[in-house]
Structure 1
Amino acid sequence: MDQKAFEKAMDEIPQKGASEKLKALQDIRYRWIMESYPENATYRGYPGGEKDWTDQSIKGIERRKGQTRKLLAASRHINEDKLPENEQLDYQLLYQDLLLQVKGFQFPEHLLPVNHMSGIQRNVPAVLSAMPKRTAADYEDILARLEKLPQLIDQTQILMEKGLKQKLTPPQITLRDIPGQIRALIPTDPKQSPLLKAFYEMPASIPAAQQTRLRNRAQSIYQKTLIPEWQQLAEYVERDYIPNANTETAFTKNDDGIRWYAYKVREETTTEMSPEEIHRIGLEEVRRIRGEMDAIIKKTGFEGDFKAFTDFLRNDPQFYYDNKEDLLKNYRDIAKRIDGELPALFGTLPRLPYGVKPIPSYSEKSQTTAYYQPGSNEAGRAGVFFANTYDLKSRPTWEMEALTVHEAMPGHHLQIALAQEQSDIHPLRRNKFYTGFVEGWGLYSESLGYDLGLYTDPYNEFGALTYDMWRAVRLVVDTGMHQLGWSRDEAIEYFKNNSAKPEHDIVVEIDRYLVWPGQALAYKVGQLKIKEIRARAEEALGDNFNIRAFHDALLGAGALPLNVLESRMNTWIESQGGEISKAQPVSDAGGQAALN
């Protein structure tokens, strides 16, 4: 958002009325996000930034920081006590988010713009793929973005260079795939480039002559500017960045790294839990789940120990497809089976559909097993469950049910699409992503597989436990590597000893935790909190507990910090006739008081 427009909007905030001030500030904040980060606007279907990329210049970054500080200052002038109860939650979330973001400005996150999991080599093709492609004007917007890409590439490289001078880079060992990821965007044949894919799939409603003109212009931009710019970046990464990158793997080895890691843990989990406490919980969960896994092994009649059984699961051909389409078909079949069972668990289901697609070839090698990309009713785009079809011998059938439940329904697609369809809450909240809630819900959803008629085969049930174990292991190895001095190899070995996941997946996962410190902790932390809330509701309500009503209440306000979720659900339990013990504390999960 340019400075002049920002100042004008701030000047127009009403001087009186707490509710009026709050609404104006929410509107500005949402507009600010959409205009400051045009890629987000594309995903949301918000008009106005279709031709632009985020300004990643130092000047642009500092401008956004200054504007965020002013938004925080303005939020402090709202008297929360004068807001009606339903608006107090809006205020608390707005204030908390702004305060946490400003606290993060003390750390130079912007000097880490690229890693093998994220960065322009991953984000640019994803944004182009999400852009509308119905009219010639839509394709003109794509062309405008392609023409502006060199500036974004240059800005990104400048940030990388500044980070390198401070020895602030992702761990060297994780950078190996980035040059290949970049070059995968610029094959000699433009038809094979994900950057130009749309220009070879134009709708028939666009006249042939216009199609030719648009395609020729795209090819010209590609040959004259995009290939040289991307190639230069790939060469820089190979020649300068990787050889001189940080050889330490622990994030806490960076300047002020201990405080920075603690901040990331707080940001991702929305709790005040220390890395040491999370590590301890992880060890306890690993022990618990391991006991359940051993019981499944015994039930199968397998003769051998845990390692022998996991080796069997990793290597026996019966658990693997030889054809990518067969793998995708099975995911789609599982999704169809789930759909018919959902009304038993949910009173409200989203209208937005979703599909199952393979992860794009340019990123599949270093991408995790699967991910979900939200859709948008405003943009006319369905959600997508992306499944990895690279190296089929790393894609066992016994993990597919748990994975589908997590990424699609009733996991990410159900929760995120429902949040987007909550017309009674501000769009700022409808589109908010709290990792502890969103990923906690995804992992909690895996446990619903039993209610959905899944996991009837002992191997699929072991797969579900493997996925639960995977998230428990994350608590141990993320904190182990970043806080407690574990090496990368030690983390890989611990993972292998406690999971049946294929070794390729394990290495990809460990390298993910190295470049996204703290993020993977949110899954299990969030799941445990949701399970705790459900157990409390079941105990308090007894025979009056209704799982459909419980899930609708849990998801009905969109994503929330975990402490806010717990407080809200305690109120819901009481509204249903349950009694919450006054001695029962609401766990400290980063509320406004804790952030001051």
Structure 2
Amino acid sequence: MNQNRYSKIFTKKKVASSAVCVVLAVSLFAGCAHFESIEYSQEISEENPQTVEAFDQFINDIFETEVTENTINLHFTISDPEKYGITDYPVTLGDLSIDAMADSNARLENYLSGLNSFSYTELTLNQQLTYDILENYFQLQLDMADMYLYDELLRPSTGVQAQLPILYEEYSFNSKKDVEDYLKLLALTDEYFDQIISFEKEKADAGLFMSDFACQNIIDQCNAFIADSDNHYLIETFNTRIDKLTGLTQSEKDHYRLQNEKILHEHIFPAYENLAAALTDLLGSGTNENGLCYFPEGKQYYEYLLAYNTGTSESVKTLENMISNERVKVLQESSDLTTENPELWELASEATLTPTDSATTLNHLKEVMLDDFPAPPETSYTVNYIDDCVADYLAPAFYVIAPIDDYSHNSIYINETTDTTNISYFTTLAHEGFPGHLYQTVMTYESGIEPVRSILNYSGFVEGWATYVEFQSYHYAGLDDDVATILELNQDATLSLYASTDIGIHYEGWTLEDTKKFWNNYGITNDDAIESIFELIVEEPTHYLKYYIGFLKFEELKKETSLKNIKNYNDKSFHQAVLSIGPAPFDIVDKYLPAYYEYIE
């Protein structure tokens, strides 16, 4: 399975005016596979207690095996491993070797075989849902296994080097063992980075290494991370967590503080120095400054990546048409609105909000959303500031997902310099908090999904949901309704341009000049800005499509559900139904939506 997939982090990428998210899912062979169209049969269920019990044991065994393959994944997935029968586990960041990949693929084949041994009709509805999701996931992982060298572990926002420090900063200390596990993980970082370096050299030998501009971005990021090592935020945040931990003597706390600083200087900072040096040596190894389709099997790999990251079964061409059709529609709606009110664009560009702190904004969102969304369970959250040394690379905002057994505490990060009077500040908090990532996470956990599903990555669902509600949140900001609508439509159209550009670059072979022509057609003529967009999309294929295709699929699901003559249809019940199903491919969500909606009603 995805044995090196770290806990999920959702972020908003800092580029132009587009608000998007990424999922931390770092693995040498993390899911990109051909996604055939699925035809589901609605079989009559005849539950068998023995089959039900055996299936529960089967999926719990998978969960225990896979969640312990990476200690960060374990820690961020469950806060109390003993509750799940996990009492002994190795402290590890995972294994990126070819042998480990072969072992993982063998496990996947065994899982798939074991899954298919169960009588589908003897399972409960929830188990059938889990069965369908696991079958899909296992097959996707296996289908792409031979193309592992096309994967990239080092990306500006979603790469290991960008995400790992945030997870170290967020690593909670609930016990002395947590502290000791954390320090062991820190000490393993340089060895883990050595494995990444070996992988990048293997990619270079195969002619699949990244472009020079991408390589230089990662080098600069590594250097920025270690620039002020004596006053590093991983020292400060560790000390804060240690101070809050009860049950330790002052002597123990002092010892751990010294040990943390020692390990940072002996393992963490050298890991980033060595990675920067190795990448500097590899500059010039990249043979392709453009999209994936310029690699020998790049077009096929992009199809895999697109299917995996969007959770859709449609062809690239179908998705491309879906994007362009939506853009035509929203641009026409924008034109109609501004024809009726010629001053609308000016009013929208001048729209500001009363300055307020993030907690007040989130509490406001939590209240005003209740007409459209079911009330969330009681939960708390903290809003923290992104450290300066990673602010330029990571993102202006992100949410760190809570453990499945303790989702009462959640973390959102924002850039300290964010203008709180800007409407984008408001919609960013809606995207990350309520009714976005935080809300979706706790609602899905509250619905009782199987633990094994928490280690799967369906970013098209989670990122699509956050984009879907972000667009809706313009109408929660207290703006004039037409102003809110024109801002929403503008964001929709803008993100559609990024989505079309992603397909253009990676599947149709657009060069920088082609990309400039495309954006020029929509009145965007700043060459530097377009070049930044081009490079970002080359570095992060399908990055924007997770959000935009996911958003379009939620809109499609809502429309189809409302047209199915469901008695007393309303958006609130629709939202509760899809969140109860939880992250999954959209074909599977569509299959189960009527049953879950009926159950809610």
Coarse TM-score class (shorter-chain normalised): 0.7 to 0.9
- Structure 1 residue 136 displacement after superposition: 4.3
For this pair of structures, how many residues does the alignment match? Answer: 546
Would you say 1:563 and 2:563 are equivalent positions?
no
Would you say 1:269 and 2:310 are equivalent positions?
yes
Please tell me the residue identity of whatever aligns with 2:106.
Answer: G
1:87-486 mapped onto 2 (5 Å cutoff): 87-109=127-149, 112-194=152-234, 197-199=237-239, 202-203=242-243, 205=246, 206-238=248-280, 240-295=281-336, 297=338, 301-302=342-343, 313=349, 329=356, 331-376=358-403, 378=405, 382-389=409-416, 397-423=422-448, 425-430=449-454, 432-449=456-473, 452=476, 454-456=478-480, 461-486=485-510
- Write out per-residue CA displacement over residues 8-65 of structure 1, whole angstroms, 9 at most, x where no aligned residue: xxxxxxxx95434422321122112211232211211353558321122332232222
Please tell me the residue identity of whatever aligns with 1:291.
Answer: Q
Query: Comparing 477-486 with 442-451, which one deviates more in the overlay?
Result: 442-451
- Write out per-residue CA displacement over residues 478-520 of structure 1, whole angstroms, 9 at most, x where no aligned residue: 1111111212454366457648999998766544432332342
Distance 2:188 2:519 in 1: 43
Q: Which ranges of structure 1 fall in alignment gaps of 5 or more residues? A: 4-15, 578-596
- Structure 1 residue 114 displacement after superposition: 1.2
Distance 1:508 1:353 in 2: 37
Please tell me the residue identity of whatever aligns with 2:259.
Answer: R
1:585-596 mapped onto 2 (5 Å cutoff): none
- Write out per-residue CA displacement over residues 122-166 of structure 1, whole angstroms, 9 at most, x where no aligned residue: 232122122222554433222211221221111111111111111
Distance 1:575 1:146 in 2: 47
- Structure 1 residue 216 displacement after superposition: 1.9
Contact 2:440 2:579 in 1 (8 A): yes
Contact 1:320 1:397 in 2 (8 A): yes
1:82 paired residue number: 122
1:33 paired residue number: 66
Contact 2:70 2:94 in 1 (8 A): yes
Distance 1:132 1:57 in 2: 29
Partner SS, residue 520 of structure 1: helix
Partner SS, residue 108 of structure 1: helix
Please tell me the residue identity of whatever aligns with 2:208.
Answer: L
Contact 1:278 1:479 in 2 (8 A): no
- Structure 1 residue 192 displacement after superposition: 1.7
Contact 1:149 1:226 in 2 (8 A): yes
Distance 2:567 2:134 in 1: 37
1:591 paired residue number: none
Distance 1:38 1:499 in 2: 49
Please tell me the residue identity of whatever aligns with 2:276.
Answer: A
Contact 2:359 2:383 in 1 (8 A): yes
Please tell me the residue identity of whatever aligns with 1:40.
Answer: N
Query: Comparing 35-44 with 222-231, which one deviates more in the overlay?
Result: 222-231
Distance 2:525 2:170 in 1: 31
Distance 1:51 1:470 in 2: 44
Contact 1:110 1:159 in 2 (8 A): no
Partner SS, residue 351 of structure 1: coil
Would you say 1:527 and 2:562 are equivalent positions?
no
- Write out per-residue CA displacement over residues 406-461 of structure 1, whole angstroms, 9 at most, x where no aligned residue: 222112111112112223x3112355442222122222213432664544376654
TM-score by length of 2: 0.80
Please tell me the residue identity of whatever aligns with 1:386.
Answer: Y
- Write out per-residue CA displacement over residues 329-380 of structure 1, whole angstroms, 9 at most, x where no aligned residue: 4544432321212332233413333333333323221334433221236357
Partner SS, residue 357 of structure 1: strand
Distance 1:185 1:369 in 2: 16
Kindly, what percent of the aligned residue pairs are identical?
18
Please tell me the residue identity of whatever aligns with 1:169.
Answer: F
Distance 2:458 2:257 in 1: 40
Would you say 1:22 and 2:49 are equivalent positions?
no
Structure 1 pair 526/254, CA: closer, same or farther in 2 (3 Å)?
Answer: same
Contact 1:184 1:193 in 2 (8 A): no
Partner SS, residue 426 of structure 2: helix
1:491-510 mapped onto 2 (5 Å cutoff): 491=515, 494-495=518-519, 498=522, 510=534
Distance 2:483 2:307 in 1: 36
Query: Comparing 151-160 with 441-450, which one deviates more in the overlay?
Result: 441-450
Distance 2:554 2:497 in 1: 19
Distance 1:333 1:466 in 2: 26
Query: Comparing 399-408 with 145-154, which one deviates more in the overlay?
Result: 399-408
Distance 2:106 2:494 in 1: 40
Contact 2:235 2:260 in 1 (8 A): no
Query: Comparing 155-164 with 529-538, which one deviates more in the overlay?
Result: 529-538
Structure 1 pair 132/85, CA: closer, same or farther in 2 (3 Å)?
Answer: closer
Partner SS, residue 62 of structure 2: helix
Please tell me the residue identity of whatever aligns with 1:402.
Answer: T
From 82, 93, 103, the equivalent of 1:53 is 93
Would you say 1:551 and 2:575 are equivalent positions?
yes
Contact 1:364 1:388 in 2 (8 A): yes
Structure 1 pair 501/58, CA: closer, same or farther in 2 (3 Å)?
Answer: farther
Partner SS, residue 243 of structure 2: coil
Please tell me the residue identity of whatever aligns with 1:551.
Answer: H
Partner SS, residue 383 of structure 1: strand
- Structure 1 residue 464 displacement after superposition: 2.4
Q: Cα RMSD over matched residues?
A: 3.5
Distance 1:493 1:358 in 2: 38
Structure 1 pair 385/214, CA: closer, same or farther in 2 (3 Å)?
Answer: closer
Structure 1 pair 509/73, CA: closer, same or farther in 2 (3 Å)?
Answer: farther
- Structure 1 residue 100 displacement after superposition: 1.0
Structure 1 pair 342/197, CA: closer, same or farther in 2 (3 Å)?
Answer: same
Contact 1:279 1:480 in 2 (8 A): no
Structure 1 pair 193/346, CA: closer, same or farther in 2 (3 Å)?
Answer: closer
Please tell me the residue identity of whatever aligns with 2:562.
Answer: E
- Structure 1 residue 473 displacement after superposition: 1.8
Distance 1:504 1:42 in 2: 42
Higher relative contact order (CA 8 A, sep 6+): 2
Partner SS, residue 468 of structure 1: helix
- Structure 1 residue 302 displacement after superposition: 4.6
Structure 1 pair 91/111, CA: closer, same or farther in 2 (3 Å)?
Answer: closer
TM-score by length of 1: 0.81
Please tell me the residue identity of whatever aligns with 1:407.
Answer: E
- Structure 1 residue 575 displacement after superposition: 7.1
Partner SS, residue 589 of structure 2: helix
Contact 1:268 1:436 in 2 (8 A): yes
Q: Which ranges of structure 2 fall in alignment gaps of 5 or more residues? A: 4-48, 82-87
Partner SS, residue 164 of structure 1: helix
Contact 1:419 1:430 in 2 (8 A): no
- Write out per-residue CA displacement over residues 253-275 of structure 1, whole angstroms, 9 at most, x where no aligned residue: 22311211111111122222222
Contact 1:43 1:379 in 2 (8 A): no
2:85 paired residue number: none
